[in-house]
Amino acid sequence: MCGIAGWIDFAREMSEEGSTVRAMAGTLANRGPDDEAVWTDADAALGHRRLAVIDVDDSTQPMTAEHDGRTLAVLVHNGEVYNYREVRAELTARGHRFRTAGDTEVVLRAYLEWGPECVRRLEGMFAFAVWDPRSRQLLLARDRLGIKPLYYARTAQGLLFGSEPKALLAHPSLECVVDAEGLAELLAYIATPGHAVYRGIRELPAGHTALLREGAGGAVLRESRYWSLPNHAHQDPLERTVETVRGLLQESVSDHLVADVPLCTLLSGGVDSSALAAFAARSGAGRPRTFAVDFEGHTERFRKDFWHEDPDAPYAAEVARHVGTDHEPVVLRTADLADHVVDAAALRAQDLPRPIPDMDRSLYLLLRAVRQRSTVALMGEVADELFGGYQSFRDPTLVDTANFPWVTMGLRVAPHGMSTGLLDPALLRKIDVPGYSAQRWSETVAEVPDVPGESETERVMRRVGHAHLTRWLPLLLARDDRLSMAVGLELRVPYCDHRLVEYVYNIPWAMKTADGREKSVLRSAVADLLPESVTQRRKSPFPITQDPDYGQVLRRRFNAVVTDPASPVRPLLDGPACAELAAEDRPIAVDGWGERRNVEMVLQLDAWLRHYRVRLDL
């Protein structure tokens, strides 16, 4: 996995701007700790940071293709192309010759053969940029599901691009500004395709390419969609559907196990990650290594809540014994979660404040521990979005409210959405999270065509599934990518295989809940591989600490922020509500999601405004 950055300018001598692009790429050092390089010509400067996973000794970037001393194209690439051997064979048959053994040169040669259409031939997770000096054009491309990130910002005569917003914000011409729409996007906790919260920065949408050329009136940029979720009637009966899902998932796991470095699987004890561990154990690639996160004393003090019915650790251990893995729990202390360095690292990794930062810190610490043993890890993300595992699929009062189900759930906690309970009511009325998200929901629904013969219930659930895959999933993929890359770990998501996604998305809701429970098809597909206790276990989200000492940590930090006259977040707060809470002599409540989330958001906003020197233009 890697970090990429670049600057194209048709009116500037870019061969003199290598140091600027090197600084942009330098913000991505954690994404690529193994190597760094910059390439320039008169119009372009491309930077790369490398994490070597395949063809470790070669495949350095930026990678050039040359003929008779002339540069044909230059590539910077982030990700993995899992079918690169098949594409390489086809390109070899067409006369291409390769000097490396990895997937990067395959992408470069694929561009030379097929141009921008090459993305249709590539399967995997990727984001790349190709500069073509012959036609003086730049191609940006992103994988179908948007597993790997890519951002850009237009300039007067060109474009900046990078794997993360921080790379663009390192450019001297770009100011760090967030306007009312950006703040609404942030607080609503949705991922509108293309939006990046920061003004002037755009995220290349999943399944898209963008082509930059010089035009008569300045640089011309055109985005093009090459993939989207297909909508059609599902023809297979239940038994064949289960068999197909099993086959597609097993094939995907096999593809994701290819690496020239140590690899492992994250194991929570839920059916999603347990299925990956089981297939990995049956792959013939040796005894797999698995890791699970836990909290010191968590099993002993566990209390059932709305989200968590039981602790993960016993189930993870049971699966490891059942399928045969070398299992290692990563046990976190409250002191680890309260570490200022960890807090800052998780925030900087994501470039934005998030409403559940304790989960982010837990995941960061897990991934950091995993990185000491492995360079690549498989993760069970995306199964819930595909198979309907969340409460936001199953609660009928959430799925048809003219808004995103998870936003509606948050609006039940607070009138302006989850984590906003301590923010200034006047500010929240201006930002209008309910109205903003409702408008975005309307746009989302408009993307989903009616399928002939579908019932009204199936039509509603198709829209809900589409929304989760296009407006919720990107938030999770961004979190997973940034936190894993912050520690130099490549995280792979086999459930994101586009063939599996295309098939499962169109399975009707009645079949996905055939036994009256969530994820019926998936549980049936792997029932013979896992303990019954796991296949019958209720969905349990990523765990959170229930240690009251964590509430004391939140109390100290909250009081420090709201009593600091220099705190940049104070103008955004509900002063009386914050003063009332600060006056209470007790830990912040760690049970439930109300007070805990409100306090965490205040702390996140304060740290973000300080570190990024954000200018709010509201």
Active site residues per annotation: 2
Distance from C-alpha of 517 to C-alpha of 118, rounded to nearest angstrom: 41
Distance from C-alpha of 548 to C-alpha of 590, rounded to nearest angstrom: 7
Instruction: Lay out the sheet containing 44-50: strands in order across.
Output: 35-40, 44-50, 2-9, 158-162, 151-155, 202-203
Alpha helices in 399-497 (DSSP H): 405-413, 425-431, 433-446, 456-467, 473-485
Distance from C-alpha of 609 to C-alpha of 604, rounded to nearest angstrom: 9
| Closest to 258 (Cα-Cα) out of 128, 119, 101, 108 | 101
| Burial class for 114, CB neighbours closer than 10 Å (0-12, 13-18, 19+) | middle
Segment holding 91, helix H or strand E: helix 84-93
Does residue 159 come out as left (phi exceeding 0), alpha (psi in the -120 to 50 range) or beta? beta
Distance from C-alpha of 3 to C-alpha of 51, rounded to nearest angstrom: 8
Q: Taking the CB of residue 480, how many other CB atoms lie within 10 A of it? A: 21
| Closest to 29 (Cα-Cα) out of 174, 167, 201 | 167
Amino acid in position 253: V
* Contact of 50 with 32, CB cutoff 8 Å: yes
- Checking DSSP bridges between strand 177-179 and strand 158-162, what pairing results, if any? unpaired
Distance from C-alpha of 176 to C-alpha of 199, rounded to nearest angstrom: 8
CA distances from 409 to 193, 396, 471 (A): 22, 12, 15
* Contact of 365 with 342, CB cutoff 8 Å: yes
Could you say which DSSP state residue 66 is in?
E
Could you say which DSSP state residue 471 is in?
I
Instruction: Give the pair of three-digit tokens for residue 378.
Output: 């498989």
- Checking DSSP bridges between strand 202-203 and strand 177-179, what pairing results, if any? unpaired
DSSP 342-362: HHHHHHHHHTS--S-HHHHHH
* Contact of 109 with 65, CB cutoff 8 Å: yes
Q: Is 379 helix (H, G, I), strand (E, B) or coil?
A: coil
CA distances from 523 to 163, 367, 513 (A): 36, 27, 10
Could you say which DSSP state residue 204 is in?
P
Does residue 388 come out as left (phi exceeding 0), alpha (psi in the -120 to 50 range) or beta? left
Q: How big is the chain by its Cα radius of gyration, in Å?
A: 24
| Burial class for 21, CB neighbours closer than 10 Å (0-12, 13-18, 19+) | buried
| Closest to 132 (Cα-Cα) out of 221, 43, 215, 206 | 43
Distance from C-alpha of 598 to C-alpha of 582, rounded to nearest angstrom: 13
* Contact of 316 with 267, CB cutoff 8 Å: yes
